[in-house]
Structure 1
Amino acid sequence: MGLHCIVRCDDLLKAVSAQQNITGKKGSMAILSNLLLETDDNHLICTGTDLEIGLKQIIAAEIIEAGKITLPAKKLFELARESGGNDIVLKEQDNAWVEIEAGSGHYRLAGMQADEFPQFPLYDEKAQIAVKSEIFTEIIDKTYFSIAQDKESIFSLTAALLQKYKEEENTYIKMVTSDGHRLSLCSKKIETNIDILELNSSTLIPRRGIQEIRKFCENIDIINLGIEEKQIVLKDESSILIVRLMKGDFPDFASLLQSISQENIVHINRIRFLEALKRINLFTEDISHAIKISLTQNKIILNSQHTEYGSATDSFEIQYGGEDIDLAFNCRYFIEVIQVMEGDIIKLTVKDEKSPCMITSDQDEGFLCVIMPMKL
C-alpha cells in the first residue's frame, strides 16, 4: 500500500495551479515536471521545483494511508480543474500508478517514485523576519518591467538587484532593475530590523524568481522573509518559496544617477501624458517605438511616424521654462513606467537630446526611472 488520501478539489487546484510556471519549464530531468505529494498528519504536502525555484504547499487532507509519490503537475492541474466534484481521492497502486476519483470520473495516472525527486533546499528558519508583503509587491510592480530578457548579453541584467540601506534612523529596502536602455529603482521604508538578512551589493534575484515572489505575496498581509548567501526564502502559514540567487555583479547605477543634470525640469500631468503616449504609440514602428518629444515654453509636442500607416501628433500645456529641445525616446518605455507611478504630476529631468531622461514624482517617494535617448 502507498499514499491514499482525500482532499478538497478547490484546495488541490489552488496548490497545483501555483506550481505550473515552476514545473512547466523544460529540463533534462523528467521528474521535474512532476509534483511530489507526501502526507503529514492531516495534510498533503505538494512540492515542485526546477532546481532554481522551489515551492512547497501544505493543504488539509483526510489521510487514509501515509505515503509519497510524484505525479505530472500539468495533468494533475487539468484533472483538478475539470473534475466537477467537491473532493478528489488519490490512491497509489503498484509501479507508481495512482487511481484518482474526481466527481463522476475515475482515472489512472502514471507517476514516478518519490525517491527520485530532488531534495527541497534547506534553510535557516531562525534567520527570518516578518515583513509586510505589500513592500515586495510595490517594489516589484515598479521595477519588473525593466528587467532584461534572457537574451541580454550582460547576464546580471536578467535579474533584479535587492539592497538594504539606512538613512538617518530609518531602514530601507531597494530594488533596482535595468535592461541597458532604462533603469528603474524603488525604495521602501521597512519598520522591521533587517540586520539578519544577508543582503549585499550583489544580491541578484533572477527574473523568474521575481515573478514567483510577486505571486506568492498576493492575498497575504505578512510574510516571513529570509535572505541567505545563496537563496531567498518566503514563508507563510501554508507555503514556502525558495529562489536561488544569481551570481554576478550588477552594473554601477549610482554613477549614472549622479551624472544626470538638473538643468531642464518638466512638470507634467501624469494621466494626460500617459493618454497622449498611448495614442502616439499607435503610429510608431513595431521594433523601435520611436517618438519625437519637443519641449518649448510651457508646451510639449509629441510626434510619431510609421512607414506604412502614417503619422500622429499631440500637444498640450506643461510647466517648463527652459530652452527648446527636441528629444527622441522609445514610447513604450515611457508608457510602462508612467502607468505604474503614483501622483498627479510627474517630473522629467533632461539636459539635452543626447542625455538620459529621469522620471520622478514628489507624490511617489522612493521611485525613479531613467530612460536612455534615441537618435533623432
Structure 2
Amino acid sequence: MAFHFNISRTDLLRAIGAQQNITSKKGTLAILSNVLLKVEQNRIIFTGTDLEIGLKQTVPAEVFEEGVLTLPAKKLFEITRESASDTLSFVEKENNWVEISAGPARYKLAGMVSDEFPAFPEFNEETLVDMEGDVLGDLIDKTIFSIAHDKENMYSLTAGLLEKEEVDGKKYLKIISSDGHRLTIMSKEVDGATFDGLTLNPVTLIPRKGVQEMRKFCEENPTFKMGIEEKQAVLKSDESLLIVRLMEGEFPDYRGILNVISRDNIININRVRFLESLKRINLFTEDMFHAIKMEIQDNNLVLTSQNADFGSAKDEFEVGYAGDPLFLGFNCRYFIDTLQVMEGDIIQAAISSDESPCLITSPDDEGFLSIIMPMKL
C-alpha cells in the first residue's frame, strides 16, 4: 500500500540525523544506505542498519495512508536539513517514487522496496535493566579516545571492554580501553538493581563505532533500559532502540599492568596549566609521533619539543615533586587527550623511573585512571 503522511521537520531531522553514521558506510548491499520507513497509525518507525549496528526510532506523524518503503538516508537528511518548512509531506507514487513537499519546494525521491532490507535483530526484554544516560555517557566520554582505530594491529583493541566490579560493598560499572600505547579505565558506581540485573559475558567487547552510537543514545535519552546478550548490546527507550553487535576475542590483562606500576613517586600538577603548556609544545612536534621531552626536578617541570622543519619550543612551570630528577619522552597527544576528559584542578602523575609508564589520576575524578607508555627519544 502506498503511504501518505505529514511529519514535523524537527522530529524528522532528529530521527534521520541519528541514522547518518550507521547508513553512511560503503557496503556491498545498496539497500543499507537507505532507511526503512514503516508508516503506521499516528507514527513512523525509522530503521537503519549496517549489519553491525541497528537503530530503530519511533516518531509521531499525521498519517493518511499506511505503508512500508526504504529511502536514501543521506538524501532524505539533506532535504530535511535544508527545508524552510516546519512540516514535510510524503506521498508514495508509482514504482517506489516518493513525492516530498516542504513548503513551496517539491522533491521526487527514488525509493526501494523493503523486501531486501535486513531483518532487525530480536532481543530478550527480560535481560534489560534501568540505566542512567549520564552514567554510561561519562564512562564512554572518559575512555573512547584511547580505543584503537581499525588500522591498529591488535583487533580486540578496537573495542571497549565493559565490566562489573564490586569493591568494599560498592558496585561499579567500568569501561577499559587501550590502543597498545596507553590504557584508560573509568568506573562509575551504580545501584544494586542495575548491577545485579545486568548480565555480562566473560569478555564483553563493544566495537568503537558501537560505543560512539551508544554515546549518542545517552545524549537523547536521560534514562533507558540496557541489556547485554551473548552477541549483542541492547539499549531501549520509549522512542528508540539501539542494538550493537559485540566483538569476539580477548582483551589484554590490564590488571597485570596495574599491579606492576609503582604509585610511590608522585608529581602533583595543575591540570589546566599542564594542558595549556602541552598544546603549545605540541605545535613543534613531528606530526606522526608528537614526541616531547619532560624534565622534572626541584618542583619544576620543563617541556621541550623539536621539529626538523620549523624549530623548537620550550615551556616550564612549577609542580609538586620531591623525588629524584626525571628525564622522560612521551607522545604529547596522549597527555592532551587524557587531561581534556579529566575533572579537577590537580592531577597526580606517578612515574618511578626514566623508562617507566606514567600513571595519571586525580583526587577530584573518582574512578578515572590512565596509563601512558614512554617513548625513547
Structure 1 and Structure 2 fold alike (TM over 0.5): yes
8 Å contact kept, 2:201–2:228: no
CA distance in 2, matches of 1:101, 1:65: 16
CA distance in 1, matches of 2:123, 2:192: 20
Shift of 1:343: 1.0
Map of 2:198 onto structure 1: 197
Map of 1:111 onto structure 2: 111
2:158 matched to 1:161? no
Map of 2:67 onto structure 1: 67
CA deviation digits over 1:163-209, x for unaligned, max 9?
01111222110100000000100000001423332313410000000
Aligned to 1:81, the other structure's residue is in SS state: helix
Aligned to 2:272, the other structure's residue is in SS state: helix
8 Å contact kept, 2:127–2:199: no
CA distance in 1, matches of 2:142, 2:202: 20
CA distance in 1, matches of 2:199, 2:151: 29
CA distance in 2, matches of 1:252, 1:310: 41
8 Å contact kept, 2:5–2:64: yes
Map of 2:291 onto structure 1: 290
Aligned to 2:335, the other structure's residue is in SS state: helix
Name which of structure 1's ranges 175-184 and 275-284 shifts more when overlaid on structure 2.
275-284
CA distance in 2, matches of 1:205, 1:31: 25
Q: Map 1:34-53; keep pairs closer than 5 Å.
A: 34-53=34-53
Report the AA paired with residue 275 of structure 1.
E
Map of 2:275 onto structure 1: 274
CA deviation digits over 1:38-65, x for unaligned, max 9?
1222101100000100011111111111
Aligned to 2:81, the other structure's residue is in SS state: helix
Aligned to 2:95, the other structure's residue is in SS state: helix
8 Å contact kept, 1:299–1:317: yes
Report the AA paired with residue 260 of structure 2.
S
CA distance in 2, matches of 1:334, 1:260: 18
Shift of 1:219: 4.2
Report the AA paired with residue 310 of structure 1.
G
* Aligned-residue RMSD, C-alpha: 1.1
Report the AA paired with residue 30 of structure 1.
A
8 Å contact kept, 2:267–2:350: yes
- Kindly tell me: are residues 251 and 14 of structure 1, through their superposed partners in 2, closer, same or farther at Cα, counting changes over 3 Å? same
Shift of 1:263: 3.5
Map of 1:348 onto structure 2: 349
CA distance in 2, matches of 1:159, 1:312: 36
* TM-score (normalised: structure 1): 0.98
Map of 2:140 onto structure 1: 140
CA distance in 2, matches of 1:80, 1:298: 57
CA distance in 1, matches of 2:220, 2:86: 23
Name which of structure 1's ranges 65-74 and 211-220 shifts more when overlaid on structure 2.
211-220
Q: Map 1:241-320; keep pairs closer than 5 Å.
A: 241-320=242-321
Name which of structure 1's ranges 52-61 and 1-10 shifts more when overlaid on structure 2.
1-10
8 Å contact kept, 2:54–2:243: yes
CA deviation digits over 1:22-51, x for unaligned, max 9?
000000000000010012221011000001
Aligned to 2:61, the other structure's residue is in SS state: strand
Shift of 1:355: 1.2
Report the AA paired with residue 74 of structure 2.
K
Q: How many pairs were matched up?
A: 376
8 Å contact kept, 1:38–1:45: yes
CA deviation digits over 1:294-321, x for unaligned, max 9?
1112111111111111111111111111
Q: Which runs of 5+ in 1 are unaligned?
A: none
Q: Map 1:121-140; keep pairs closer than 5 Å.
A: 121-140=121-140
Report the AA paired with residue 201 of structure 2.
N
Map of 1:210 onto structure 2: 211
CA distance in 1, matches of 2:279, 2:100: 50
CA deviation digits over 1:62-96, x for unaligned, max 9?
11111100000011111111221121111112221
8 Å contact kept, 1:300–1:315: yes
Map of 1:232 onto structure 2: 233
Q: Map 1:73-112; keep pairs closer than 5 Å.
A: 73-112=73-112
CA distance in 1, matches of 2:265, 2:192: 39
Map of 1:175 onto structure 2: 175
Name which of structure 1's ranges 35-44 and 172-181 shifts more when overlaid on structure 2.
35-44
8 Å contact kept, 1:131–1:192: no
Q: Map 1:351-366; keep pairs closer than 5 Å.
A: 351-366=352-367
Report the AA paired with residue 250 of structure 1.
F
